[in-house]
């Protein structure tokens, strides 16, 4: 006897990147920051007492919202705090997409979107990225035709790391009839020379929702804290109706607030990641991998050309795993000849390069 709703029975759950319990694994598979959060976060953690946990947390995480509002030059009405970015994605779908209706996304992108859509019982209109992984010019028009009530755009894009300029997002927001969710999970790793800032869009458009997370840039993936930035009218139904009453806990509010208030501490890690991103790009290219230029903390690389690149990529993934290095392999169209590699510390990246060099030599020896 099954008690599930039909759409739940028919759906597949999310597949996580491996989260090994072995400490000595070099973990380059789920895009975590390789450096820990700074001293301000340690201090906030040490200052917590069990007595404080007796009480419920601030229902709207107002202390955090104030800090976030100041950091982005918006009002605290423009901020919603959530239990990870994943909760914000789920809230956006629950709030803005009717069951049986449609949401849109580019393909490929974050594989959680279709899972959340299936839970809601809505359809997914998938628009293929072009050969160079850019968004088709008529992306918004295609989704309007499909009747999409909401669309997801990841920027910088996952899994390629490519960045859309704000101008392009502006024209998307203007052309699209529904809510445009711009998933900026990796925004902190963008080169400052790009001068990227999409926050002004929330003043121009009442259908733009930006997703920010403390998981990647602020080294707090274990904490589960993220936030949305949008017009007050867009956020209101999520803030006052669809959210769990205490959706973020006291501990995460405290630490996230401390982390965002000490943004300059996190920014030191972003600089290190960018330096390693350049170095890793060069070294992987020298080994014969085709590397897509990335503005994120990961690289999507195509294995050096062989007769069977899909086999090759899977073999490299397995050989690295055997050597204690985890990277991500996606068994899906257009990605089977590729690996997605999180930028690690210099030592981790050196170990990766060394193992890949060996894997290439071994495979050349076999042929």
> Which parts of this chain interact with ligand PLP (CB under 6 A)?
31, 84-86, 110, 154, 158, 183, 185, 213, 215-216, 221, 226
Structure tokens given for 46 = 């040490």
Q: How far apart are CA 101 and CA 148, in angstroms?
A: 7
Q: Which is nearer to ligand PLP, 110 or 289 (CB)?
A: 110
Smallest gap, in angstroms, from Cβ of residue 216 to ligand PLP?
A: 6
Smallest gap, in angstroms, from Cβ of residue 135 to ligand PLP?
A: 15
Smallest gap, in angstroms, from Cβ of residue 115 to ligand PLP?
A: 12
Smallest gap, in angstroms, from Cβ of residue 183 to ligand PLP?
A: 5
Structure tokens given for 232 = 């007050």
Smallest gap, in angstroms, from Cβ of residue 287 to ligand PLP?
A: 26
Q: Which is nearer to ligand PLP, 84 or 355 (CB)?
A: 84
Using CB atoms, what's the residue nearest to ligand PLP?
A: 85
Q: Which is nearer to ligand PLP, 221 or 353 (CB)?
A: 221
Smallest gap, in angstroms, from Cβ of residue 367 to ligand PLP?
A: 36
Q: Which is nearer to ligand PLP, 102 or 155 (CB)?
A: 155
Q: Which is nearer to ligand PLP, 122 or 185 (CB)?
A: 185
Q: Which is nearer to ligand PLP, 151 or 154 (CB)?
A: 154
Cβ neighbours around 136 below 10 Å, total: 13
- Nearest by Cα to 74 from 253, 260, 252, 201: 201
């Amino acid at each position: 006897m099954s008690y599930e709703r039909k759409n739940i029975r028919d759906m597949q759950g999310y597949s996580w990147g491996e989260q090994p319990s072995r400490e000595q694994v070099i973990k380059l598979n789920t895009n975590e920051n390789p450096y820990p959060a700074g001293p301000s976060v340690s201090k906030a953690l040490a200052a917590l007492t069990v007595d404080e946990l007796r009480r419920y947390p601030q229902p709207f995480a107002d202390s955090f919202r104030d800090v976030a509002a100041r950091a982005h030059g918006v009002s605290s009405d423009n901020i919603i705090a959530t239990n990870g970015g994943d909760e914000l994605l789920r809230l956006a779908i629950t709030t803005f997409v009717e069951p049986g209706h449609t949401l849109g996304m580019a393909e490929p992108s974050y594989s959680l979107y279709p899972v959340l859509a299936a839970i809601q019982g809505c359809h997914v209109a998938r628009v293929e990225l072009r050969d160079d992984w850019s968004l088709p010019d008529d992306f918004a028009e295609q989704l309007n035709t499909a009747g999409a009530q909401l669309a997801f755009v990841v920027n910088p894009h996952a899994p390629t790391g490519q960045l859309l300029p704000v101008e392009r997002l502006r024209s998307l927001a203007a052309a699209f009839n529904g809510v445009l969710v711009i998933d900026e999970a990796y925004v902190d790793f963008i080169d400052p020379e790009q001068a990227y800032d999409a926050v002004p869009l929330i003043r121009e458009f009442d259908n733009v929702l930006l997703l920010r997370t403390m998981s990647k840039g602020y080294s707090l993936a274990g904490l589960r804290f993220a936030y949305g930035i949008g017009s007050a009218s867009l956020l209101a139904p999520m803030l006052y109706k669809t959210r769990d009453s205490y959706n973020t806990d006291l501990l995460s509010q405290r630490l996230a607030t401390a982390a965002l208030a000490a943004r300059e501490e996190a920014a030191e890690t972003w600089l290190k990641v960018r330096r390693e991103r350049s170095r890793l790009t060069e070294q992987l290219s020298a080994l014969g991998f085709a590397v897509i230029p990335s503005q994120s903390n990961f690289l999507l690389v195509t294995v050096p050309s062989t007769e069977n690149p899909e086999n090759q990529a899977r073999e490299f993934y397995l050989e690295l795993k055997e050597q204690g290095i985890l990277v991500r392999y996606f068994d899906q169209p257009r990605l089977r000849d590729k690996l997605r590699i999180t930028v690690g510390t210099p030592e981790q990246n050196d170990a990766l390069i060394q193992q890949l060099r060996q894997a290439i030599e071994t495979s050349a020896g076999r042929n």
